[in-house]
């Protein structure tokens, strides 16, 4: 399947204007063949970057003042434009990532659905977080002044595309969608592994801005090396927050740059997680073979290149645990490698697996076959005991790809000790039956401190986009354990509260005016009032 590359310009989009970069060029590669793709994409320099950030600053006040209906329509128009691209988008993403059509078609659906979900949030207006304490002039011993609070957007946001989700965590993905929903202009730095996919989606966003006659500085798409342009973007004083999905080293480098600015800014980075799965004896006794098959499926899906892929599984000692290990060995032997996203990610996987396999007390439990394409390594499962996990930090490191480590634990106390030594995680998964409830209750407090999402009798490699989802966790899973990058709560990252004391009604923003012209649900004197009520 081939994309009509004549439709791709290979240029950044700086505030609506396709712009040839002055800083060299980069090409996408088909990871299944290691062959370069057309066209070449030019990289901008720091002077060109300044044009984008200046335009974003200029667009901020008009964008954040949009009424809810126009704002929501903007997000919905982006979604419709992405859908209208049709097969061109999926075809190019397949070429650049090696991911299958079904996976990318589903990811495109997730991308447009989350844009529409944020449109419902914007239209409803809950992100304004309005709180009103009306004046009480007769209160004794002291009168109370009128105080009104709302949340306002932070300002222009820098978003970095993720390698493993070329759509849902990329150009119009969760960070961009939530920042735009908050009223923040976005400067999006495309991931160099899928530049064509990024351009196609970037054009869809730019077209939506034109269709609604909005300020073109609301969105820019840039191509450039992360070591220079990425750092310059985070250093730019007009940028007020950062969204990032990627490696721990990349995230911490951006965090250091943001913290060293004269005005430090928040970096919302999703980085590293090994997502432990814990089997309890009751669950494992039911069907150890079925559990082994399901677990391996979660490990190898998308070649293991998911931020929620389970890199660690705790299995009790005993006959059921032995049966699980034997079944996992058999299942792994029958598994074939899938194309990884880039040759660089493949090489990192190879190095990580070699390093893990060379650690004392770690044994190879099962290995599959290499895939028929390039960059398709054999899935590998290793095994060890709790004492090795406690003593060796290498066993806690994420291997991004189809590899996992089985930990055999002797009893509940040993399991609790092991879990308490884990770093912060995006997820923790419990496989249990009713007979395991007492044992589970003993470790739940530990897991609450370790993970952003705890799930039972499922698998972590599926993240629902909704109102209650948390896709975050303590460091190094993310840089800010208080936030989520998936779901409607993600909008809160790009907002801050402002209080207005004794401001005349004519000068108040619409969200706070006594007549409630936007028909918002507001908390008045501590009590939630229905949309349309005045105060």
Q: Is the dihedral of CA 447, 450, 456, 459 positive or negative?
A: negative
* Beta carbons of 500 and 149 less than 8 angstroms apart: yes
Neighbours of 295 (CB within 10 A): 25
Q: How far apart are CA 60 and CA 152, in angstroms?
A: 11
Neighbours of 468 (CB within 10 A): 9
Known catalytic membership, residue 184: no
The strand pair at 527-529 and 522-524 is best described as antiparallel
C-alpha 424 chain-centroid distance: 16
Nearest to 344 by CA among 299, 297, 305, 312: 305
What are 106's two structure tokens? 């589903």
Cα Dmax for the chain:
81
Neighbours of 378 (CB within 10 A): 18
Nearest to 131 by CA among 452, 530, 521, 463: 521
C-alpha 182 chain-centroid distance: 17
Q: Is the dihedral of CA 173, 175, 180, 185 positive or negative?
A: negative
* Beta carbons of 192 and 26 less than 8 angstroms apart: yes
What are 501's two structure tokens? 């004391």
Q: How far is the CA of 432 from the CAs of 289, 312, 462, in angstroms?
A: 15, 17, 19
Nearest to 513 by CA among 493, 532, 496: 532
Known catalytic membership, residue 434: no
Q: Out of 307, 331, 374, 398, which one is annotated catalytic?
A: 307
What are 526's two structure tokens? 């501590």
DSSP 422-472: ---EEEEEEE--GGGHHHHHHHHHHHHHHEEEEEESS-SS----SSS----
Q: Out of 57, 95, 107, 270, which one is annotated catalytic?
A: 270
Residues marked active site are found at 270, 307
């Amino acid at each position: 399947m081939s994309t009509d590359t004549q439709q791709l310009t290979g240029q950044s989009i700086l505030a609506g204007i396709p712009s040839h970069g002055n800083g060299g060029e980069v090409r996408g590669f088909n990871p299944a063949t290691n062959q370069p793709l057309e066209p070449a994409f030019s990289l901008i320099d720091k002077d060109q970057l300044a044009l984008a950030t200046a335009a974003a600053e200029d667009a901020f006040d008009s964008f954040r003042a949009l009424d809810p209906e126009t704002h929501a329509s903007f997000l919905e128009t982006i979604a419709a434009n992405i859908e209208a691209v049709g097969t061109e988008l999926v075809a190019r993403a397949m070429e650049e990532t090696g991911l299958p059509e079904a996976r990318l078609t589903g990811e495109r659906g997730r991308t447009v659905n989350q844009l529409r979900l944020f449109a419902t949030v914007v239209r409803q207006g809950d992100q304004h977080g309005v709180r009103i304490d009306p004046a009480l002039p007769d209160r004794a011993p002291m009168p109370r002044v009128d105080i009104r609070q709302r949340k306002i957007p932070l300002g222009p946001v820098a978003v970095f595309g993720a390698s493993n989700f070329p759509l849902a965590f990329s150009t119009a993905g969760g960070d961009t969608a939530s920042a735009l929903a908050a009223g923040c202009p976005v400067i999006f730095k495309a991931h160099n592994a899928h530049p064509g996919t990024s351009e196609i989606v970037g054009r869809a966003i730019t077209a939506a801005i034109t269709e609604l006659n909005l300020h073109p500085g609301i969105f820019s798409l840039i191509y450039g090396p992360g070591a220079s342009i990425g750092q310059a973007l985070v250093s730019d004083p007009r940028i007020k927050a950062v969204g990032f999905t990627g490696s721990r080293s990349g995230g911490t480098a951006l965090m250091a740059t943001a913290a060293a600015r004269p005005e430090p800014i928040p970096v919302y980075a999703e980085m590293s997680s090994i997502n432990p799965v814990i089997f309890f004896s009751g669950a494992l006794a039911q069907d150890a073979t079925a559990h082994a098959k399901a677990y391996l499926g979660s490990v190898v899906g998308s070649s293991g290149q998911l931020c929620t892929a389970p890199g660690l599984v705790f299995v009790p000692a005993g006959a059921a645990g032995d049966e699980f290990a034997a079944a996992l060995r058999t299942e792994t032997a029958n598994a074939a490698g899938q194309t990884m996203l880039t040759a660089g990610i493949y090489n990192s996987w190879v190095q990580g697996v070699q390093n893990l396999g060379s650690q004392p007390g770690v044994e190879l439990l099962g290995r599959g076959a290499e895939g028929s394409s390039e960059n398709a390594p054999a899935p590998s499962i290793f095994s060890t005991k709790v004492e090795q996990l406690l003593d060796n930090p290498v066993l806690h490191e994420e291997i991004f790809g189809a590899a996992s480590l089985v930990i055999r634990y002797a009893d509940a106390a040993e399991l609790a000790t092991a879990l308490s030594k884990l770093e912060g995680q995006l997820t923790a998964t419990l496989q249990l039956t009713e007979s395991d409830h007492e044992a589970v209750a003993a470790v739940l407090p530990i897991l609450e401190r370790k993970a952003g999402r705890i799930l039972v009798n499922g698998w972590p490699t599926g993240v629902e986009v909704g109102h209650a989802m948390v896709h975050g966790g303590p460091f190094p899973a993310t840089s800010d354990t208080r936030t989520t990058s998936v779901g409607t709560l993600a909008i809160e990252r790009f907002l801050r509260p402002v209080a207005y004391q004794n401001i005349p009604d004519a000068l108040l923003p619409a969200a706070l005016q006594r007549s409630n012209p936007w028909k918002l649900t507001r908390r008045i004197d501590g009590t939630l009032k229905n949309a349309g009520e005045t105060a």
